[in-house]
Amino acid sequence: MVHLRLVAVMGLMALSVGTSNAAENQIGESFDKSFRSSCVSAALRKGMPAQIADKSCDCAVSEMNNSFSLTQKLEMLKYPAKREALKPIVQECVKRAI
């Protein structure tokens, strides 16, 4: 989770001063990789089988990218209350994976 917070802070700083598309893509990819890793770890800790955890978290990353901008995703890390928007996405992805 510390890595996700660092990505959020760095990403918001970069976006506030302006970045190139390549830099934004790199920040987005780093966010997605960190989110997926955290998602899979949390699912496995709760006893979810690895295959379902992988499918659920891949789906969650994809759906999150379809629903939120990079700035919105980074703000979710900075402001925990905004993470509530992810719950329905993750829940739907778990249903699809099962």
Residues of the chain with pLDDT under 70: 1-19
The C-alpha atoms of residue 48 and residue 95 are separated, in whole angstroms, by 12
Q: For residue range 77-95, what is the model confidence (pLDDT) as tens digits? A: 889 899 999 999 999 999 9
The pTM is what? 0.77
Q: E strands of the chain, at which residues? A: none
The dihedral built from the CA positions of residue 32, 34, 39 and 44, taken in this order, carries a sign that is: positive
